[in-house]
Structure 1
Amino acid sequence: SEQEANRVRTEELRERLRQSKDQAIEKQNELFQRQLSEQIAANERQHSQMLEQMRRDNESLRSAINNSNRDRGSRCVIS
C-alpha cells in the first residue's frame, strides 16, 4: 500500500539522517582531536624552551657566582 511505502521511505530517510549526523560528529571529533594534539605539541615545545632557558640562566648564574668568588679570592690574596 501507499501508506506502507511512505513508512518505509520515512524509515530510510531517518536512517540516512542518522548516518549523516554520525559522520558529522565523527568529523568534528577528528578535527577537535587534531587541534588538541597540535595544542599539546605546541605546549610541549614551549615547555622545553622554558626549561632550556632556565638551564641557561642557571648556567650564567653559576658562572657569575664562580667568577665573583674567584675575584674575591684573588683580592684576598693581594691584600
Structure 2
Amino acid sequence: MDNATDYILQKTIRTEFADCTVITVAHRIPTVMDCTKVLAIGDGKLVEYDEPMKLMNNEGSLFGQLVKEYWSRSANASVSSDD
C-alpha cells in the first residue's frame, strides 16, 4: 500500500472508530505513533508494551530502536531521491 492510501485509511479508522478499541498490526512506524499503546514483539515474544513516546524515551527499547531505524532509512531514501 502506498503512503497516500495508508494515510487515508488511518485517518478513516481514527475518525470512524474513535470510540472503539482498535488493534492495529503494522510495519510502518507512522501508523502506530498516535496509538494509545504499542506492543512490540521480538522473536515471537512480547518484548515491551507501553505508550509510544514512553518506549521511545526508554534507553534500550526495541520500539525506540525501530523508530530510529525507520526515520534514518526514510531520511536516506529522501536524500537519495533528491540526487
Q: TM-score, normalised by structure 2?
A: 0.29
Higher strand share: 2
Greater RCO (Cα-Cα under 8 Å, separation 6 or more): 2
Relative to the length of structure 1, the TM-score reads 0.30
Larger gyration radius, structure 1 or structure 2: 1
